[in-house]
A and B are shown apart, each in its own frame.
Chain A
Amino acid sequence: MQNAFIELPWAVALILLPLAGAMGCFLFPRISRTLGLMTSFSIVVSVVGLGWQLLEHGSYRHAVGGWGAPLGIELVADGLSLLMLTTTAIVGFAISVYSTTYFKPALAVRFWPIWMCLLAALNALFLSADIFNLYVTLELLGLSAVALTALTGSKEALSGAMRYLLATLLASLAYLLGVALLYHSFGSVDIAVLAQQMQAASPYASGAIWAALGLMAAGLMLKSAVFPLHFWLPPAHGSAPAPVSALLSALVVKASFYILLRLWFTLFEPLVNGEAINTLLGLLGCAAILWGSVQALRQTRLKLLIAYSTVAQIGYLFLVFPLAASMGSIAWNGVAYLIISHALAKSAMFLSAGNLLCFGGHDRIADLDRVVQRLPLTAAAFALAGVSIMGLPPSGGFIGKWLLLEAAIIQGRWDLVAVMILGGLLAAAYIFKVIGHTFTQAPVTHEAQSVSASMQWSALLLAIGAMLLGFLSLPVLSLLNISDITATSGVGL
């Protein structure tokens, strides 16, 4: 019985279930809420199954339809993909619970099918092992994310979605041109095969390979919204409905960063090792931290503040590129930890912002009226998520930032240390700015609407999850070490 449970093709279920759920929600709009919630829960079960499989057998490969690489499509799961899938499943389930009561029926029938498509695209992306398949999943992800952004149909949301769509299409095309050049150079799109050939070809890399590296990196950086390519993020994330903003900030942005991380340290590792381009990415990360934090501090609307905070936190992720050169494993663990704790904390923040928006009918920070007394669960969720974003102990964000700081100190990169600490202080400033206003009475009071318990609790549980991550660092990091397709890489992942 137990063996039969383990041997089920969980990786396939992770893609097929949300796709079937999307069809179901589209065909039967009356029960779309129940269907969507059931699908989200089944994803959590499938991830547990896949995790069990990985712990038993090490990394996992599935040839779809019995056709293996190089001709067919393979699904591959290793420690990093399992971590991303788990984060997606947990955050996705919480957002599903939240959305059951957040959306009015007219919007709900549109929300559920697209959200299920987005979930399928995310899971497929984390399980892909070839660069062309990654392109297809990136496009699926981008299109469903844009459709979700435009959901409410307000002026701001439509313009934000349009800008987001143009940026994401441009980024995908740059990535696809990179894929074309790599396929021309090596005759394969499988990451493992390409990595081996790249190893051999790196001493005399041709212009086409460097061009492919540049195009793919530029496309993925535009999608990850690193400074100065973040122009599309605040309008899109700030104007979307709260659960959608949470999805975009917590998961969608991370997906393109995950691809960049994968390609950089498996495919392009021999090419970029010790090159100035790593320093450049680190500089962009530093600029993103400072610029995003200062902009966040200047915002008067809560959702825009959280969106700019995402820009800043993405900057931390890019510090892995200069740091991983010699301190591979510490910087790796740090960035992986930062990805998952930011996903939990930022979704909790956006969901509590959604609660405040429902409660008072606005999200102007200065007019938050004694929220602590009137909406204590939401205020607690926001504060706890804020602790993780600032990187204070004992939160998950603290562990991630501490590991990155440790790598920077060992390498003597005091400039990066200074930027990271300054970024933490600025984060504390913009979060306390919000928390301060939740205690005081606003000059204008608004008629308060009731906020349902499921919306309050899903935000709070996500925030508690971000805190709990601070105590679970050993088991989570041991998941990362499940052997993987990056075996050829010099980085001890």
Chain B
Amino acid sequence: MNPASFYALVGIGLFCLGLFGLIMNSHLLRKILAINIMGSGVFLVLVALAGRAENMPADPVPHAMVITGIVVAISATALALTLMLRVASETGHATLPDEVEK
């Protein structure tokens, strides 16, 4: 297995790990972190698959996509954290209504 496909598999692993965390955790901060882990997984897949052959320079387009993706992820995380704080100050606990804090 060459390094590129190893990293791609790690990326898919991170994606699945994040998905598991998103579903299993009820605290909103953990859910937001899980989303970020999923995002990192996707970015790792994009970067890893950019190297098509051993001796060729890597494809720059996926790198540009990852940069765009990071910008989006930062703004989304900022919005999510603000919302979480507002939810916590209104309801007293940082969980969604129908889930009990574990």
What is the total of A-B residue contacts with beta carbons within 8 Å? 81
Beta-carbon contact of A159 and B97 below 8 Å: yes
The 0/1 profile, CB within 8 Å of B marked 1, for residues 162-197 of chain A is 110110011011001101110110010100000000
The 0/1 profile, CB within 8 Å of B marked 1, for residues 143-171 of chain A is 10011001001110011011101100110
Given A155-B91, A159-B91, A177–B42 Cβ distance below 8 Å?
A: yes
Given A176-B69, A177-B42, A155–B49 Cβ distance below 8 Å?
A: no
What residues of B have a CB within 8 angstroms of the CB of A484 in the complex? none
The size class of the interface chain A forms with chain B is 20 to 34
What residues of A have a CB within 8 angstroms of the CB of B10 in the complex? none
Beta-carbon contact of A180 and B62 below 8 Å: yes
Q: Does A132 contact B (CB under 8 A)?
A: yes
The size class of the interface chain B forms with chain A is 20 to 34
The 0/1 profile, CB within 8 Å of A marked 1, for residues 52-67 of chain B is 0000000101100100
Beta-carbon contact of A143 and B76 below 8 Å: yes
What residues of B have a CB within 8 angstroms of the CB of A143 in the complex? 75-76, 79
Distance A180 CA – B48 CA, assembled complex (angstroms): 10
What residues of A have a CB within 8 angstroms of the CB of B28 in the complex? 162
Beta-carbon contact of A170 and B22 below 8 Å: yes
Beta-carbon contact of A177 and B79 below 8 Å: no
Most A-side CB within 10 Å, residue of B42, B90, B91, B96: B42
Partner of B83, one of A150, A172, A173, A176: A150
Q: Does A136 contact B (CB under 8 A)?
A: yes
Beta-carbon contact of A165 and B83 below 8 Å: yes
Beta-carbon contact of B90 and A166 below 8 Å: no
Partner of B35, one of A158, A161, A173, A189: A173
Given A159-B97, A176-B42, A180-B62, A139–B76 Cβ distance below 8 Å?
A: yes
Distance A158 CA – B86 CA, assembled complex (angstroms): 7
Q: Could you write out 28 A-B pairs with CB less than 8 Å apart?
A: A132-B65, A146-B79, A153-B90, A154-B90, A155-B90, A158-B83, A158-B90, A159-B91, A159-B96, A162-B87, A162-B96, A163-B96, A165-B79, A165-B80, A166-B35, A169-B35, A170-B22, A170-B35, A173-B35, A173-B38, A173-B39, A177-B12, A180-B46, A180-B49, A180-B62, A183-B46, A183-B61, A184-B49
Leading 3 A-B pairs by shortest Cβ distance: A184-B49, A180-B46, A139-B72
Apart from A159-B91, A165-B76, A176-B69, what 13 extra A-B contacts exist at CB < 8 Å?
Answer: A132-B68, A136-B68, A136-B72, A154-B90, A158-B86, A158-B87, A162-B96, A166-B35, A169-B80, A170-B22, A180-B45, A183-B46, A183-B61
Which of A's residues lie within 8 Å of B, judged by CB?
Answer: 132, 136, 139, 143, 146-147, 150, 153-155, 158-159, 161-163, 165-166, 169-170, 172-173, 176-177, 179-181, 183-184, 187, 189
